[in-house]
Amino acid sequence: MSTIEIALPQVRKATVGISLRKIVYRSAAIVGLLAVWELAPRLGLVDSTFLPPFSDVMVAWWQLLADGQLLDNTLASLGRSLTGFGLAVVTAVPLGLLIGWYKPVAELLGPLLEVFRNTAALALLPVFVLLLGIGETSKISIVLYACVWPILLNTISAVRTVDPTLLKLARSLDLPPIRLFQKVILPAAAPTVFTGIRLAGAVSILVLVAAEMVGAKAGLGYLVNAAQFNFAIPQMYAGIVTISVIGVVFNQLLVALERRFTSWRRDQLS
Amino acid sequence: MIGLRAVTKDFGDFTALAGVDLDVAAGEFVVIVGPSGCGKSTLLDLLAGLTAPTSGQLLLHGKPINGPGLDRGIVFQQYALLPWRTALGNVEFGLEATGVPRRERTERAREFLDLVGLTGFEQRHPHELSGGMRQRVAIARSLAYDPEVLLMDEPFAALDAQTRESLQDELLRIWERTGKTIVFITHGIDEAVYLGQKVAVLTSRPGRVKRTVQIDLGNRAEVRDLRSSEKFAHYRHEIWELLHDEVARAQRLEVAR
């Protein structure tokens, strides 16, 4: 027993050491980018009017945070993209399961879905604005629309690529269709469905920001666009940095969720 | 117990099986051996009730087989384990289908994992197990819900030679202990002779039973290296002769295609 008690803290210290070094190593490129961003304008390599040093951008960011503009615009954007994204998940997953399960339906709709997926959602933005106006509805709708395709197509292919021997096994056990779905198809499809959801997460922010730049009175896309219009360049960059941070955080959250639901797969992949 | 009467199976204008006759007694270990593409797996699917014959009859206890059922358990070559479930969860899967109460399920699953020598591996996922261990889990799963017949479709084909031999011994031990009827499909002559009480040799396409050979290797416990015994060599040669022409014919068909 005593040896174990001694050994444990040592192991823990070692893993902390490794992960710390890993963190330093993995953030080196980002730190490097920020350093170049800071130094290039200061050394006169680029015009600091158009690319202010990173520290100036941070100061502007802090001011935006202090006067509440940043929070208001962020909440406006998040509300829209999460609503659109959430609606896409709750509609596209069940729909994908259904389409994937009925082979003739999948074959019938396959080409059409491919056409829609490969039509850039933003190309349809004018159509959405025409039909739904420039209010919240059209913005949420375009996010919903853009998020539906990756989820739908991944879910369909997830169902269609379930290991056929597992289906044969279920059949040999005379499993009723509902049980088959619940015990075999859903868990087998989960990893691929999650990949689609994660793609949709990235898409939701991408499309929303672009939509907000075209016509909006709030949101991060509006903030960036308005700042550029008023020649508030540091504020513009502050908005851009906020967007990319939100994108990264959202993606990490979805990755964590994915890991939780498909933990059996983790060691298999690594 | 199981009777096949002139069983024929066509897929379009391709005949996989043409008039297969075979009888399997209760508790018997029958091996079906044949060249590749002779319809062995089709035969097993028919016995499992996963497909229906084009003509002829498959009987279980004198009644025609008309669908899958829990009186027959299948062991697949590719194991067919659910990767998201542990070894224990996979064995329980079969029991869930039979409606065994939850508490009893775990108990039964443990018992059968123990039977195949996997005590201590209950919480492992399939990807943490070797091929041999995975197949043991699959065998435990099929045995746990207590089918009368075990249908095995080249279950050891993907394993290395040593693992295969040890699993063959294990299977014989399990068979003796449980008294199950086993229909075992293989393309290996050694495996057929070693395992079978009766070996049915199939012809190449279209498949039918060329001959059935009764195997009597005497008391297994008495012989140390059964595979090197004279009796074993005799049976091995007999089946080799029967198969030899079929393999050659299968290859000609393969080339002609």
State pLDDT tens for residues A115-173: 888 888 888 888 988 898 878 889 999 999 999 999 999 999 999 999 999 999 999 88
Question: Minimum mean pLDDT among A59-68, B39-48, B79-88: which range?
Answer: B39-48
Indicate the fold that domain A54-269 takes in CATH: MetI-like fold (1.10.3720)
pLDDT in tens, B64-74: 888 888 889 99
Position A8 scores a pLDDT of: 43
Whether residue B113 is contained in a domain is answered as: no
b (16+ CB within 10 A) / e for B205-233: bbbbbbebbebebeeeeeeeebeeeeebe
Q: What is the CATH number of the domain that holds B214?
A: 3.40.50.300
Chain A residues whose C-beta is within 8 A of a chain B C-beta are: 163, 165-166, 168-169, 171-175, 179, 183-184, 187-188, 190, 262, 264-265, 267-268
Whether residue B158 is contained in a domain is answered as: no
pLDDT in tens, B100-127: 888 889 999 999 999 888 999 989 999 8
- Written in H, E and C, the secondary structure of A216-249 is CCCCHHHHHHHHHHCCCHHHHHHHHHHHHHHHHH
Interface test with A, best of B42, B70, B84 (most A CBs within 10 A): B84
Whether residue B195 is contained in a domain is answered as: yes
- Minimum CA–CA partner of B92 in chain A: A183
The structural domain count of chain B equals: 1
Whether residue B99 is contained in a domain is answered as: no
As a whole number of angstroms, the distance between CA B202 and CA B204 comes to 7
B65 Rama class: left (phi>0) / alpha (psi -120 to 50) / beta? beta
| Among the partner residues A169, A175, A187, nearest to B76 by beta-carbon distance | A169
Q: What percent of chain B has pLDDT over 70?
A: 98
Instruction: Inform me whether the pLDDT recorded for B240 exceeds 60.
Output: yes
Question: Minimum mean pLDDT among A10-14, B38-42, B252-256: which range?
Answer: A10-14
Instruction: Inform me whether the pLDDT recorded for A53 exceeds 90.
Output: yes
Residue B10: in which H helix or E strand, if any? strand B2-11
- When pLDDT is cut at 50, 70 and 90, the band that residue B255 belongs to is confident
Give the residues across from A42 on adjacent strands.
Answer: none
- When pLDDT is cut at 50, 70 and 90, the band that residue A270 belongs to is very low
Report the pLDDT averaged over residues B193-222. Answer: 83
Whether residue B40 is contained in a domain is answered as: yes
Asked if A188 and B127 come within 8 Å (Cβ–Cβ), the reply is: no
Asked if A264 and B125 come within 8 Å (Cβ–Cβ), the reply is: yes
Q: How far is B149 from chain A (nearest CA, A)?
A: 13
As a whole number of angstroms, the distance between CA B241 and CA B236 comes to 9
As a whole number of angstroms, the distance between CA A238 and CA A83 comes to 24
Report the pLDDT averaged over residues A175-202. Answer: 91
Residue A253: in which H helix or E strand, if any? helix A233-261
Rg (CA), chain B: 18
Domain segments of chain A: what residues? Answer: 1-51, 54-269
Q: How far is B68 from chain A (nearest CA, A)?
A: 5
Amino acid at B119: T
Instruction: Inform me whether the pLDDT recorded for A95 exceeds 60.
Output: yes
| Among the partner residues A174, A264, A265, nearest to B97 by beta-carbon distance | A174
Whether residue B212 is contained in a domain is answered as: yes
Position B221 scores a pLDDT of: 67
Whether residue B96 is contained in a domain is answered as: no
Tokens of B116: 């195949």
Asked if B68 and A174 come within 8 Å (Cβ–Cβ), the reply is: yes
As a whole number of angstroms, the distance between CA B84 and CA A263 comes to 8
Contacts of B73 in chain A (CB under 8 A): 172
Position A152 scores a pLDDT of: 93
- Minimum CA–CA partner of A187 in chain B: B84
* Phi–psi pair at B54, nearest 5 degrees: -70, -45
Q: What's the domain range around B211? A: 7-67+181-257
Q: How far is A186 from chain B (nearest CA, A)?
A: 11
Give the residues across from B150 on adjacent strands.
Answer: B73, B182
Tell me what ipTM this predicted complex has. 0.85
Instruction: Inform me whether the pLDDT recorded for A197 exceeds 60.
Output: yes
